[in-house]
Amino acid sequence: MLARLDRAPKDACLNDLADRLESRTGEILEANASDLAAGREAGLDEALIDRLAMTQARIAGMATGVREVAQLPDPVGEVVETSTLQNGLEVSKQRVPIGVIGIVYEARPNVTVDAAALCLKSGNAVVLRGSSAAEASNAVLAGLVVESLREAGIPETAVSPLSGGGHEQLRELATQEGLVDLIIPRGGDGLKNALKEVARVPVMYAAAGNCHVYVHEDADLQMAQRIAYNAKVQRPGVCNAAETLLVHRAAAGALLPALLQQLSDAGVELVGDERARDNAADVPVGPASAEDWDTEYHGLKMAVGVVDSLFAAVDHVNRHGSGHSEAIVTSSNEAANEFTEAVDAAAVYVNASTRFTDGYEFGMGAEIGNSTQKLHARGPIGLRELTTTKYIVRGSGQVRE
Amino acid sequence: MLARLDRAPKDACLNDLADRLESRTGEILEANASDLAAGREAGLDEALIDRLAMTQARIAGMATGVREVAQLPDPVGEVVETSTLQNGLEVSKQRVPIGVIGIVYEARPNVTVDAAALCLKSGNAVVLRGSSAAEASNAVLAGLVVESLREAGIPETAVSPLSGGGHEQLRELATQEGLVDLIIPRGGDGLKNALKEVARVPVMYAAAGNCHVYVHEDADLQMAQRIAYNAKVQRPGVCNAAETLLVHRAAAGALLPALLQQLSDAGVELVGDERARDNAADVPVGPASAEDWDTEYHGLKMAVGVVDSLFAAVDHVNRHGSGHSEAIVTSSNEAANEFTEAVDAAAVYVNASTRFTDGYEFGMGAEIGNSTQKLHARGPIGLRELTTTKYIVRGSGQVRE
């Protein structure tokens, strides 16, 4: 039974998997190349191609992530809190695995490895339903996982890759109450809505990100430019990339011409409200539609707005944001505190890029996704988020009066 | 905004409410008497009548619970963990309110007070949808809550009692995505299934309890008798009462005659498997049907089974239990550890009655219910379980490489 597996075989399996990822990089890249070729032929957009693409560096990063998971403490059995009640009962709240977790994901093949590693380490069995766009890559990666399970003497049923696909399969998986304890979708709104329609099993939404960078009137403008540029451009296809830049009107004139020029030079298509366009100097900025403020572009496009106050910025963020990652650039503690308290999101940043919301960056090893919902887990979903708890209560014959 | 309310007005409101519960006990009892009379006339069963009934002692207990909630630390802003990343980012994970919580409950009027107190203290707005069977009691109690909010200068919108009822209202509440963040039903399977059909808002099931007491072969039999009797008889209408007694075959002959006699004398209707009936001496024990093992009786009835081993007991508990509260009576650490590890439930007891699974008993002040699901909260739902978290990340211009 996976839930009661000792730490040693789990870690041995993970270290073996990391080795295999490195020694079999060629095989992985070959399979990935065929997925990429098929994807380009099928006309997948660039954000999807970016998610699908494996490189030697990304594979090395996966191996590092898996080794880090092996080094992390085993969450199973971790004592969350203890107390001795007045009647002498000793209460201990401990982490235990959730059970069987279904991961439903789109093009990213690295999810195959991250999900298997995190679920195994946390004592959960995992059902992997990847995208047909990554079929060849996923097959090779899942094959390596199975080899490592076998090597470590862990039942292969710990990791079950589903092949095939389609909505009927999704419905079947999402209605296995009592057999599947949790489903984590990792993909866009289409997948999310498809699941909402059919799921009777609990679902933890690793959802989309409509993230903002707000530049307050007292911001260090060089820092603001660096952060806004990084949040948009460093990897635009991912959910913690920024989609909207908000600038206090007092900073717009000094910040926007240079920043928008830099963004435009990097190939970012810009749209903005009237005041943003008025402050754009020679940079081409199209008019932003109402929908732009609610859109996750998944690519090199950004909406730019000028606001009258911190309050207006917070209001915009809470109205349009998806509750993922939000940043303020400011030199004032007061503004920073107001923003972090008033903004309703999984992660709120002061003077840093939104791009850091990530289990690996946060020191959690790897992650299965970022939760933007409020229950159970909010933010990166790592090992602890894949456990539940059990109260163990020891007595000497206590009964209730 | 309720989420950012200081601790002082919240606690002042709660202490004022406790005072009102005491000084207005007469009013509450009067309203409750009319609900009880109507309930008896409508033929409510005794378990429901027990849940509905208020007494001076129960009202005093509610007041004590509310004062304890006031004394508990404010969960809002509590720092769950902090870390400084290698790049200098300071990450702090803090508790924040969930938002708006809907509580849907059956006959128990005390839920009105417990839910309002816990939601207020945790910074959440609450929508209360009680049962029509407790309409008069709930109206008086909600009125006292509103008086206390007013007295403390807190917007009355913090607590919204719904009147009326019916399935259409339930559907309306359960589909307010974006307005209602969480629904907690507190009631039986009918309510639970009705919600499962319609809910699009997240639901935390404060579910039923099919709890077991297992007496191992090496148990102190006097202790076993005391625990089994207490778990069944002390308050049979509630979810942490035991429904099934399992006894190791080596202990059956010595334990069962006296224990079953005591249960029978207390008015407990007994059913059992063949070996339990064989060991019942002169106590009348009917044959247990397959359904008995899966039934929460909500009253003075108990199923009794004899098992061949600890393993068989664990298997029975995991197959038939509802994951609420399970107890073993044993003098061996080895058996205790095996049972606590292998049984899959919110609370697992060694040598104590199952009746202790309760937020008040666990030192959490009061509770809104006991979760038997695995996500977000498992066991008593108290203040912390009514919060989510937010990562606050402070930097000095960090961007992602």
Q: Which 3-state string (H, E, C) describes chain B? A: CHHHCCHHHHHHHHHHHHHHHHHCHHHHHHHHHHHHHHHHHCCCCHHHHHHHCCCHHHHHHHHHHHHHHHHCCCCCCCEEEEEECCCCCEEEEEEEECCEEEEEECCCCHHHHHHHHHHHHCCCEEEEECCHHHHHHHHHHHHHHHHHHHHHCCCHHHEEECCCCCHHHHHHHHCCCCCCCEEEEECCHHHHHHHHHHCCCCECCECCCCEEEEECCCCCHHHHHHHHHHHHHCCCCCCCCEEEEEEEHHHHHHHHHHHHHHHHHCCCEEEECHHHHHCCCCCCCEECCHHHHHCCCCCCEEEEEEECCHHHHHHHHHHHCCCCEEEEECCCHHHHHHHHHHCCCCEEEEEECHHHCCCCCCCCCCCCCEECCCCCCCEECCCHHHEEEEEEEEEEEECCC
Structure confidence at residue A357 as a pLDDT band (50, 70, 90): very high
Structure confidence at residue A170 as a pLDDT band (50, 70, 90): confident
In whole angstroms, what is the distance from residue B341 CA to residue B359 CA?
22
The answer to whether B203 touches A203, Cβ cutoff 8 Å, is no
Closest CA to B138 of B186, B198, B67, B196: B186
Residue for token digits 């839930």?
A3
With CB atoms and an 8 Å threshold, state whether A350 touches B393: yes
Q: Please tell me whether residue A196 adopts helix, strand or coil conformation.
A: helix
Predicted pLDDT at A393: 98
In whole angstroms, what is the distance from residue A57 CA to residue A60 CA?
5
For the cut 80, the answer to whether the pLDDT of residue A366 exceeds it is no
Closest CA to A308 of A214, A233, A236, A395: A214
Predicted pLDDT at A207: 66
Predicted pLDDT at B295: 95
Predicted pLDDT at B207: 66
As given in the structure block, the two tokens for residue B136 are 């008069």
When the pLDDT of each residue in chain B is averaged and rounded to a whole number, the result is 94
Point out the least confidently predicted range of B213-227, B329-343, B350-364: B350-364
Contacts of B78 by beta carbon, 8 Å cutoff, 6+ apart: B94, B95, B384, B387
B2-206+368-394 is a CATH 3.90.1150.10 domain: no
Structure confidence at residue A1 as a pLDDT band (50, 70, 90): low
Q: What does the radius of gyration of chain A's CA atoms come to, in whole angstroms?
A: 23
Q: What is the mean pLDDT of residues B48-67?
A: 94
With CB atoms and an 8 Å threshold, state whether A98 touches B4: no
In whole angstroms, what is the distance from residue A107 CA to residue A136 CA?
11
Predicted pLDDT at B240: 95
Enumerate the residues of chain A whose CB falls inside 8 A of the CB of residue B353.
398-400
Closest CA to B160 of B100, B114, B76: B100
Structure confidence at residue A182 as a pLDDT band (50, 70, 90): very high
Enumerate the residues of chain A whose CB falls inside 8 A of the CB of residue B342.
4
In whole angstroms, what is the distance from residue B38 CA to residue B49 CA?
10
List A128's β-bridge partners, or say none. A103, A161
Does ipTM exceed 0.85?
yes
**Is the CB of A200 inside 8 Å of chain B's CB atoms?**
yes
Rounded to 5°, angle at Cα A282 from A280 and A283: 60
Q: Please tell me whether residue A105 adopts helix, strand or coil conformation.
A: strand
Give the number of other CB atoms < 10 A from CB of residue A311: 11
The answer to whether B375 touches A375, Cβ cutoff 8 Å, is yes
Predicted pLDDT at A369: 84
Q: Which amino acid is at B3?
A: A
**Is the CB of B390 inside 8 Å of chain A's CB atoms?**
yes
Interface A-B: count of C-beta contacts within 8 A: 185
Q: Which of A374, A383, A384, A386 to mutate to probe the B interface, most B CBs <10 Å?
A: A374
- Report the residue from B83, B356, B399 with minimal CB separation from A400: B356
Q: What is the mean pLDDT of residues B51-55?
A: 94
Q: In what order do the strands lie in the sheet with B211-215?
A: A79-84, A90-97, A387-398, B347-352, B325-329, B211-215, B242-248, B301-307, B269-272, B286-287
Which sign, positive or negative, has the C-alpha torsion B23, B26, B27, B31? positive
Query: Where along chain B do its domains lie?
Result: 2-206+368-394, 211-356
Taken as a whole, chain B contains a residue count of 401
CA distance to A214, A337, B90, B180, B320, per residue, from A342 (Å): 13, 8, 19, 19, 46
Q: Indicate left, alpha or beta for A285 from its phi (over 0: left) and psi (-120 to 50: alpha).
A: beta
**Is the CB of B378 inside 8 Å of chain A's CB atoms?**
yes
Predicted pLDDT at A165: 67
List A392's β-bridge partners, or say none. A92, B348
In whole angstroms, what is the distance from residue A398 CA to residue A88 CA?
8
Angle between helices A7-23 and A110-121 (to 10 degrees): 160
In whole angstroms, what is the distance from residue A391 CA to residue B378 CA?
9
**Is the CB of B57 inside 8 Å of chain A's CB atoms?**
no
In whole angstroms, what is the distance from residue B254 CA to residue B275 CA?
13
The topology (CATH level 3) of B211-356 is Aldehyde Dehydrogenase; Chain A, domain 2 (3.40.309)
Structure confidence at residue A178 as a pLDDT band (50, 70, 90): confident
A392 phi and psi angles, rounded to 5 deg = -110, 125
CA distance to A65, A243, B323, per residue, from A106 (Å): 20, 21, 34
For the cut 70, the answer to whether the pLDDT of residue B123 exceeds it is yes
With CB atoms and an 8 Å threshold, state whether B355 touches A399: yes
With CB atoms and an 8 Å threshold, state whether B400 touches A85: no
Enumerate the residues of chain B whose CB falls inside 8 A of the CB of residue A363.
83, 85
Contacts of B3 by beta carbon, 8 Å cutoff, 6+ apart: B76, B96, B97, B99, B123, B124
Chain-centre distance for alpha carbon B253 = 35
pLDDT in tens, B257-314: 999 999 999 999 999 999 999 999 999 999 999 999 999 998 999 999 999 999 999 9
Which sign, positive or negative, has the C-alpha torsion B31, B37, B38, B44? positive
Predicted pLDDT at B1: 67
Residues 243-282 of B with CB under 8 A from A: none
Structure confidence at residue A368 as a pLDDT band (50, 70, 90): confident
The answer to whether B278 touches B247, Cβ cutoff 8 Å, is no
Q: Which amino acid is at A103?
A: I
pLDDT in tens, A9-64: 999 999 999 999 999 999 999 999 999 999 999 999 888 898 899 999 999 999 99
pTM: 0.90
With CB atoms and an 8 Å threshold, state whether A376 touches B378: no
Enumerate the residues of chain A whose CB falls inside 8 A of the CB of residue B374.
98-99, 181-182, 202, 388
Q: Please tell me whether residue A64 adopts helix, strand or coil conformation.
A: helix
Which ranges constitute the DSSP H helices of A175-220? Answer: 189-198
pLDDT in tens, B309-351: 999 999 999 999 999 999 999 999 999 999 999 999 999 999 9
